[in-house]
Chains A and B, each alone.
Chain A
Amino acid sequence: MRKIKSREELTFQIVTNVFLGLLLVIVILPLWRVFMLSVTPFKYSDDSFGLLVSPAKWTIEAYSQFLSHPSFLLAFRNSLIIMFGGLAINLFMTVPMAYSLSIRTLPGRKGLNVLVMIPFLFNPGLIPAYLVVTSLHLQNTFWAVMIPGAIGIYNMFIMRNFFAEIPIDLKEAARIDGASELFVLFRIVLPLSLPIMLTIGLFYAVGHWNEFFTPILYLNSNKLQPLPVLLRNILMGLNTNEFVEYDAFSQVSVQSLKAASIFITMLPMMMAYPWIQKYFVKGSLAGGIKG
């Protein structure tokens, strides 16, 4: 029996590893291809450069072109402001809403849930949102990008479910001792909610980091444009500036620049993810188990 068990386990382990290995290859290969494209010298801009070329032949010209762009640092700073500022607003607004809706004894809870579901199901569209933002005179400020999506309803639901699963006895014990709801939220619930906070925070942060359309719409000043908008302008400009007399980005092929722009945009998220990944699965699963 033991042999069969261990044989089965071994087989299962091997099959799982092979499967996951294949999945890894499927994910890594295109990413690696894009990276190789970003370091391909101009004369190899077709497939002849290959995937396994020695780093001695790589060129970092594409990255150098972007990083030396006069607006790059400003755009990077703007992206950081939008990401962190937006994240703070998101969590500040989402957490109290999720917590209050997680309390089963909240009066009018069902009605509130219905009110929350309505905008979740029915999107009013772009024009009403634009009218609200402009009537509040938020255009051309970072607030126009950070405030409108302050509460992601799907994220709020996940968080609500997580809070609902925290043992009620813990909260009751604190209330009996005279703790206010705010105390319960900040001193008992939130410390236990690190997984969900990091998970939802990551969702929000990635959304803000990749924010592109809203800045185009609301941020008229070039000084406020975030990194995705700058990168898009650079890449679009390459297609139209062919007959400009100055030597713009012609040291590398446009494909290399596009590939480099993908990596530059991905890098901050890739650097942050290893630190929070251990909480990520726990948070994603916990909030999604029951309603």
Chain B
Amino acid sequence: MNRAVLRTLVASVLLLALAFVGGAQAQKLVDIDLWLLQAVTEAGPPPDDWVGYQIIRDKLGINLKLTLQPSSFSDQDTKISVAAASNTLPDLFGVNRDMLVKIAKQGLVAQVDSLLPLMPERTKTHYSDPLRNKLVQINKKMYGLPDPGAMDRVEGLVIRKDWLDKLGLKVPTTLDELLVVARAFTEKDPDGNGKADTYGFGAFYESSSLATIGFGRRFDYIMGAFGVAGTWNFESAKKFQFNFRDPNFRKAVEFIKKINDEKLIDQTWSAPNKDEFRARWKQGKFGIWWEQFAALSTKANYKDFDANFPDGEIIPILPPKGPQGKSSNGLDQANARIYAVSAKAMKDGKGPYIAKLLEWMATDGYYLLGFGVEGVNFNKDAKGYITMEGIDPANAYSQKAMQPLTQLRNMVYVNNDIELAVRYPTYKSANGKTMDPLAIWKFFVNSPYTQALGSQIIDPPSNVNDFTRFYNENLVKFALGQQPLNDKTWNEFVKGMDKLGAKEIEKTAKAKLIDAGLLD
């Protein structure tokens, strides 16, 4: 009897042990390979012992393998191209729209409409903007997940208020008034140092894609005053065309030529260099320029200007009205950080796991991925806003050493009030003035912009490099006076654009925009 009981006990223990081991083995982890668009390019990935990996393993049954994408878009495209060509795309990867369209047409990227119901909260906060969703649609099917990108309307026109006050000038509201102010800034020594070393306007030639060819965004307020900001006229299907065909476009180019000829603009403008441009406004080289609100006014970026000019004051102003009363601060384009799911991953049944991961990120994982560990890297106040009270400053999530912990933050940020309040706090300048970056942003948000979502959807032509080079070189030469600007040369320029396929591009783009519901 005792032996029987003993045998039964041993057998039960053995069976329990087997069940435990079997159960553990049954929780097989699913590998998800994620190529991340990193938030801070030089900070590196989260450490191997990052708590997020463990939580994702335990709660979601996912073994997350993270790879940081290269920092430049061209390197990213090359890496994805090569992976696509060899059919080794990762399960989930960040990609720009042009590349997405290319590989989607090759059948290497999965449709993701079926994943949206599996992540209802994330869909509500991330994928409910119909305009942003259009960026990833091909034939009305979504081939990517468009996470909210950078904030909208973050750039605009600013002026040195202290220079205006010193010269007894008012804030200009029209292009003519702006010209008068610029002339005064150039000629009347607004910084009072006895040297003729200041200019009215500051800018640099910044053409980066088909949507922003020409002089680039830094000149959009001038082009916008003539009603021709950006590459295209999106007003209606009837009016849709390249802006260079509009007679006002030539007038805008003539205006830029005028300010260059009269040396009212910092003469370094034709050499594209953002770093140099930013250094120069911090050195007080010019008084009117177009800038991104955070690059202008956050503590880290403003401090050098503050050190050089403690009594200096920069204020945002509305873009000037042109001869026909039009004005624009720049282009209003939807932007998104797009993530795509490879067709292979979907075929392997990883779609639901990817949806589960993304849903967790947007809900339970929001604070961890966005700000770190509560109580260590941040705290929350009664309203749920982020605060550093009670946190060791060395561990604050904003410290350089902590950046790897929040490398995935761009997968969870939605530009809500919580994020903005902590990202752009107020602070005191050298002379005790309260600086509020968000106030500048809100000013820009309420300024006039030119709607240009369609430019994100227009596919670049095969000869886009030649096309943009011809366009840009001619405009810059006109403005610099290296090429005379008259009827003959302008017509030659327009003919040259047509020879490079401008009419065909317009036709194709128009059809696509009408089909996407972006042109009426």
Q: Are A255 and B301 in contact (CB under 8 A)?
A: no
Q: Are A234 and B70 in contact (CB under 8 A)?
A: no
Query: Within A204-222, which residues are at the interface with B (CB < 8 Å)?
Result: 213, 216-217, 220-222
Give Cα distance in the complex from A239 to B71, angstroms: 10
Give Cα distance in the complex from A239 to B292, angstroms: 12
Query: Within A70-89, which residues are at the interface with B (CB < 8 Å)?
Result: 70-71
A131 contacts B by Cβ under 8 Å: yes
Query: Within B229-279, which residues are at the interface with A (CB < 8 Å)?
Result: 274-276, 278-279
A240 contacts B by Cβ under 8 Å: yes
Q: Give min CB distance, A210 to chain B, whole Å.
A: 16
A45 contacts B by Cβ under 8 Å: yes
Using CB atoms, name the residue of chain A closest to B45. Answer: A222
A247 contacts B by Cβ under 8 Å: yes
Q: Which of B44, B72, B279, B300 contacts A247 (CB 8 A)?
A: B300
Q: Which of A127, A245, A255 contacts B82 (CB 8 A)?
A: A127
B79 contacts A by Cβ under 8 Å: yes
Residues of A within 8 A of B14 (CB): none
Decide yes or no: A255 and B42 within 8 Å by CB, A46-B283, A247-B300, A250-B304 being known contacts. no
B424 contacts A by Cβ under 8 Å: yes
Using CB atoms, name the residue of chain A closest to B70. Answer: A216
B350 contacts A by Cβ under 8 Å: no
Using CB atoms, name the residue of chain A closest to B83. Answer: A130
Decide yes or no: A246 and B86 within 8 Å by CB, A216-B79, A233-B41 being known contacts. no
A8 contacts B by Cβ under 8 Å: no
Q: Which of A221, A244, A245, A250 contacts B67 (CB 8 A)?
A: A221
B135-154: CB near A (< 8 Å → 1, else 0) gives 00000000000000000001
Give Cα distance in the complex from A220 to B33, angstroms: 11
Interface of B is mostly: helix
Residues of B within 8 A of A246 (CB): 300, 398-400, 403
Residues of A within 8 A of B70 (CB): 216, 229, 233
A268 contacts B by Cβ under 8 Å: no
Q: Are B275 and A239 in contact (CB under 8 A)?
A: yes
Q: Give min CB distance, B174 to chain A, whole Å.
A: 30
Q: Are A241 and B41 in contact (CB under 8 A)?
A: yes
Q: Give min CB distance, A125 to chain B, whole Å.
A: 10
Q: Which of B72, B79, B88, B398 contacts A134 (CB 8 A)?
A: B88
How many residues on chain A are close to B (CB under 8 Å)? 40
A190-233: CB near B (< 8 Å → 1, else 0) gives 00000000000000000000000100110011100000011011
A134, A222, A232, A243 — which one has the most chain B CB atoms within 10 A of its CB? A243
A3 contacts B by Cβ under 8 Å: no
Q: Are B41 and A240 in contact (CB under 8 A)?
A: yes
Q: Are B301 and A253 in contact (CB under 8 A)?
A: no
Q: Give min CB distance, A218 to chain B, whole Å.
A: 9
Residues of A within 8 A of B293 (CB): 243
Q: Give min CB distance, A44 to chain B, whole Å.
A: 9
Q: Are A245 and B274 in contact (CB under 8 A)?
A: no
Decide yes or no: A248 and B300 within 8 Å by CB, A71-B44, A234-B41 being known contacts. yes
Query: Within A171-197, which residues are at the interface with B (CB < 8 Å)?
Result: none
Using CB atoms, name the residue of chain B closest to A219. Answer: B67
Give Cα distance in the complex from A229 to B295, angstroms: 25
A33 contacts B by Cβ under 8 Å: no
Q: Which of A45, A237, A242, A245 contacts B42 (CB 8 A)?
A: A237
Decide yes or no: A232 and B71 within 8 Å by CB, A46-B276, A46-B280, A248-B400 being known contacts. yes
Decide yes or no: A255 and B276 within 8 Å by CB, A43-B304, A130-B82, A236-B71 being known contacts. yes
Q: Give min CB distance, B67 to chain A, whole Å.
A: 4
Give Cα distance in the complex from A220 to B67, angstroms: 6
Give Cα distance in the complex from A140 to B265, angstroms: 49
B40 contacts A by Cβ under 8 Å: yes
Binding site for A on B (CB under 8 A): 35, 40-42, 44-45, 67-68, 70-72, 75, 78-79, 82, 85-86, 88, 154, 274-276, 278-280, 283, 285, 292-295, 298-301, 303-304, 307-308, 398-401, 403, 422-425
Some 5 contacts from A to B, beta carbons below 8 A apart, are A127-B85, A234-B42, A243-B301, A246-B300, A248-B300
Binding site for B on A (CB under 8 A): 42-43, 45-46, 69-71, 126-127, 130-131, 134, 213, 216-217, 220-222, 229-230, 232-234, 236-248, 250, 253-255
Cβ-closest 5 pairs across A and B = A243-B294, A237-B41, A236-B71, A254-B275, A242-B295
